[in-house]
Chains A and B, each alone.
Chain A
Amino acid sequence: MTDRILTVRMEAHPADSNTLDRYEATGGYATLRKALVEMSPEQIRDEVKAANLRGRGGAGFPAGVKWGFLAPAEPRYLVINADESEPGTFKDRQLLERDPHQLIEGIVLSSYALGVNHAFIYIRGEYARPARRVQRAVEEAYDAGYLGENILDSGLALDVMVHLGAGAYICGEETALLNSLEGRRGEPRLKPPFPAVEGLYAKPTIVNNVETISNIPWIIANGGSAYDAIGPEGSRGTRIFSLSGHVARPGNYEVVMGMTWREMIYQIGGGIRDGNELKCWIPGGASAPWFTPAVLDEPVTLDDAGRLGSMLGSGGIVVMDETTDVVAAALSIVKFFAHESCGQCTPCREGATWLERILQRIVTGHGREADIGLLLDVCDNISPGLRWPPAQTTICPLGPSLVSPITSIMTHFRSEVEAMIRHAEPAGV
Chain B
Amino acid sequence: MSDRITIMLDGRPVEVDAGVLLIQAAQDAGTYIPRFCWHPRMNPVGMCRMCLVEVEGPGGTMLTTSCTVPVSEGMVVHTASETVKKAQEGVLEFLLINHPLDCPVCDRGGECPLQDQTMAFGPGESRYVEEKRHFEKPIPISDLVMLDRERCILCARCVRFSDDIAGDPLIEFLDRGNYTQVNTFADEPFASYFSGNTVQICPVGALTATPYRFRARPWDLEAVESVCAGCSVGCRVSVQSSQNEILRLLGVDVEATNHGWLCDKGRFGFQHLAAPDRLTTPLVRGEDGELHEASWSDALDRAARGLAAIVDSSGEGAVAGLGGSRSTNEEALAFERLMRHTIGTPHLDAAMGDALDARLLAAAPRRGLIGDLEQASTVLVWGPDLREELPVLYLRVRRAVAELGAGLVVVHPRASGLDTIADHVVRYRPGEGGALLARLAAGDGDLAEVRSALDDGPVVAIVGRTGLTEDGDLAGAVAGFAAELPDASVLAVSRRSNLYGAIDMGLAPGMGPGRVGEDPGRDADGIVEGLRDGSVKGLVLLGADPAGDHPSGTAGDALSRAEFVVSIDLFINDSNRGADVVLPAAGFAEVEGTMTNLEGRVQKVNRLVPAPGQARPANEILADLADRLGGKWESSTAESLASDIATLVPYADVSWEALDRGTGGDGILARGGDVVYSVPTVSTSVGNGMALHLGRVLYDRGTALMMDPSLAKLTQKPVLHLHPDDASSLGVAVGDQVRVSGSDGSAEVDAAVDPSLSPGVVYLPFNLGVSVGSDPSVTVEKVT
Check A-B contact in the complex, CB < 8 A: yes
CA–CA, A347 and B48, complex, Å: 8
Measured between beta carbons, the chain B residues less than 8 angstroms from A385 are 83
B47 within 8 Å of A by Cβ?
yes
Chain B interface size range: 35 or more
CA–CA, A383 and B534, complex, Å: 84
Q: Is the Cβ of A347 less than 8 Å from the Cβ of B49?
A: yes
Q: Is the Cβ of B127 less than 8 Å from the Cβ of A393?
A: no
Which of the segments B171-179, B499-507, B692-700 contacts the partner chain? B171-179
Which of the segments A80-88, A239-247, A337-345 contacts the partner chain? A337-345
Q: Is the Cβ of B154 less than 8 Å from the Cβ of A349?
A: yes
Measured between beta carbons, the chain A residues less than 8 angstroms from B154 are 343-344, 346, 349
Q: Is the Cβ of B97 less than 8 Å from the Cβ of A350?
A: yes
Minimum C-beta distance from A214 to chain B (A) = 31
Report how many A-B pairs have Cβ atoms within 8 Å.
Answer: 98
B214 within 8 Å of A by Cβ?
no
A13 within 8 Å of B by Cβ?
no
Q: Is the Cβ of B127 less than 8 Å from the Cβ of A338?
A: no
A354 within 8 Å of B by Cβ?
yes
B33 within 8 Å of A by Cβ?
no
Q: Is the Cβ of B176 less than 8 Å from the Cβ of A347?
A: no
Set A190, A340, A357, A382: member contacting B68, Cβ < 8 A: A190
Q: Which residue of B lies closest to A353 (CB)?
A: B178
Measured between beta carbons, the chain B residues less than 8 angstroms from A370 are 127
Measured between beta carbons, the chain B residues less than 8 angstroms from A374 are 127
Q: Which residue of A lies closest to B98 (CB)?
A: A350
Measured between beta carbons, the chain A residues less than 8 angstroms from B49 are 345-347, 393-395
A381 within 8 Å of B by Cβ?
yes
Q: Is the Cβ of B63 less than 8 Å from the Cβ of A391?
A: yes
Measured between beta carbons, the chain B residues less than 8 angstroms from A306 are none
B93 within 8 Å of A by Cβ?
yes
Q: Which residue of B lies closest to A381 (CB)?
A: B90
Q: Is the Cβ of B91 less than 8 Å from the Cβ of A190?
A: no
CA–CA, A380 and B47, complex, Å: 18
Set B68, B83, B94: member contacting A351, Cβ < 8 A: B94
Q: Which residue of A lies closest to B43 (CB)?
A: A190
- The proximity string for A residues 369-390 relative to B, scoring 1 for CB distances below 8 Å and 0 otherwise, is 0100010001011101100000
Q: Is the Cβ of A346 less than 8 Å from the Cβ of B87?
A: no
Set B45, B127, B175, B177: member contacting A352, Cβ < 8 A: B177
CA–CA, A185 and B68, complex, Å: 21
- The proximity string for B residues 45-61 relative to A, scoring 1 for CB distances below 8 Å and 0 otherwise, is 11111101000000000
A168 within 8 Å of B by Cβ?
yes
Q: Is the Cβ of A346 less than 8 Å from the Cβ of B177?
A: no
**For residues 363 through 417 of chain A, which have their beta carbon under 8 Å from a beta carbon of chain B?**
370, 374, 378, 380-382, 384-385, 391-395
Knowing A350-B97, A381-B94, the reply to whether A345 touches B46 (Cβ < 8 A) is yes
Set B62, B89, B95: member contacting A346, Cβ < 8 A: B95
Knowing A381-B86, A384-B86, the reply to whether A343 touches B179 (Cβ < 8 A) is yes
Set B44, B47, B87: member contacting A384, Cβ < 8 A: B87
Measured between beta carbons, the chain A residues less than 8 angstroms from B173 are 185, 343-344
Minimum C-beta distance from B476 to chain A (A) = 41
B153 within 8 Å of A by Cβ?
yes
Measured between beta carbons, the chain B residues less than 8 angstroms from A384 are 63, 83, 86-87
Q: Is the Cβ of A168 less than 8 Å from the Cβ of B45?
A: no
Q: Is the Cβ of B176 less than 8 Å from the Cβ of A354?
A: no
B244 within 8 Å of A by Cβ?
no
Minimum C-beta distance from A189 to chain B (A) = 9
Q: Which residue of B lies closest to A192 (CB)?
A: B68
Q: Is the Cβ of B177 less than 8 Å from the Cβ of A391?
A: no
Set B45, B52, B63, B176: member contacting A190, Cβ < 8 A: B45
Measured between beta carbons, the chain B residues less than 8 angstroms from A380 are 86, 90
Q: Is the Cβ of A346 less than 8 Å from the Cβ of B91?
A: yes
**For residues 520 through 568 of chain B, which have their beta carbon under 8 Å from a beta carbon of chain A?**
none
CA–CA, A338 and B95, complex, Å: 16
Set A342, A343, A393, A395: member contacting B91, Cβ < 8 A: A393
Knowing A346-B49, A393-B63, the reply to whether A354 touches B177 (Cβ < 8 A) is no
Knowing A351-B94, A384-B86, the reply to whether A393 touches B177 (Cβ < 8 A) is no
CA–CA, A350 and B90, complex, Å: 11
Minimum C-beta distance from B745 to chain A (A) = 50
CA–CA, A238 and B783, complex, Å: 80
**For residues 232 through 250 of chain B, which have their beta carbon under 8 Å from a beta carbon of chain A?**
none
Q: Which residue of B lies closest to A394 (CB)?
A: B49
Q: Is the Cβ of B176 less than 8 Å from the Cβ of A343?
A: yes
Measured between beta carbons, the chain B residues less than 8 angstroms from A347 are 49, 90-91, 94
> Which of A347, A385, A391: most chain B CB closer than 10 A?
A347
Measured between beta carbons, the chain B residues less than 8 angstroms from A378 are 90
CA–CA, A340 and B156, complex, Å: 20
CA–CA, A376 and B320, complex, Å: 82
Set B47, B62, B94, B176: member contacting A391, Cβ < 8 A: B62
- The proximity string for B residues 172-188 relative to A, scoring 1 for CB distances below 8 Å and 0 otherwise, is 01011111100000000
B130 within 8 Å of A by Cβ?
yes
Q: Is the Cβ of B180 less than 8 Å from the Cβ of A349?
A: yes
Q: Which residue of A lies closest to B181 (CB)?
A: A343
Q: Is the Cβ of B178 less than 8 Å from the Cβ of A352?
A: yes
Measured between beta carbons, the chain A residues less than 8 angstroms from B50 are 346
B128 within 8 Å of A by Cβ?
yes
Q: Is the Cβ of B176 less than 8 Å from the Cβ of A350?
A: no
Q: Is the Cβ of B176 less than 8 Å from the Cβ of A393?
A: no
Minimum C-beta distance from A368 to chain B (A) = 9
> Which of A190, A344, A347: most chain B CB closer than 10 A?
A344
**For residues 24 through 58 of chain A, which have their beta carbon under 8 Å from a beta carbon of chain B?**
none
Q: Which residue of B lies closest to A385 (CB)?
A: B83
CA–CA, A127 and B88, complex, Å: 40
**For residues 138 through 182 of chain B, which have their beta carbon under 8 Å from a beta carbon of chain A?**
153-154, 156, 173, 175-180
Q: Is the Cβ of A341 less than 8 Å from the Cβ of B52?
A: no
Q: Is the Cβ of A190 less than 8 Å from the Cβ of B177?
A: no
CA–CA, A374 and B154, complex, Å: 25
Knowing A341-B177, A351-B94, A352-B178, the reply to whether A346 touches B48 (Cβ < 8 A) is yes
Knowing A350-B95, A381-B90, the reply to whether A343 touches B128 (Cβ < 8 A) is no
Measured between beta carbons, the chain B residues less than 8 angstroms from A350 are 94-95, 97-98, 178
Q: Is the Cβ of B86 less than 8 Å from the Cβ of A349?
A: no
Q: Which residue of B lies closest to A337 (CB)?
A: B177
CA–CA, A380 and B91, complex, Å: 11
Q: Is the Cβ of B95 less than 8 Å from the Cβ of A342?
A: no
> Which of B45, B83, B178: most chain A CB closer than 10 A?
B178
Other A-B contacts than A346-B91, A346-B154, A353-B178, 13 sampled, CB-CB below 8 A, are: A185-B173, A185-B176, A338-B177, A341-B176, A344-B45, A346-B50, A347-B90, A354-B94, A354-B128, A357-B130, A384-B86, A384-B87, A395-B46
Can you identify 16 A-B contacts, CB atoms within 8 angstroms? A185-B176, A339-B177, A344-B47, A344-B156, A344-B173, A346-B49, A346-B94, A346-B154, A353-B177, A354-B94, A354-B130, A374-B127, A381-B86, A381-B89, A384-B87, A393-B90
Which B residues contact A (CB, under 8 angstroms)? Answer: 44-50, 52, 62-63, 68, 83, 86-87, 89-91, 93-95, 97-98, 127-128, 130, 153-154, 156, 173, 175-180
Q: What are the 9 A-B residue pairs with the smallest beta carbon separation, nearest first?
A: A381-B90, A343-B180, A350-B94, A341-B177, A353-B178, A343-B177, A357-B130, A346-B94, A346-B49
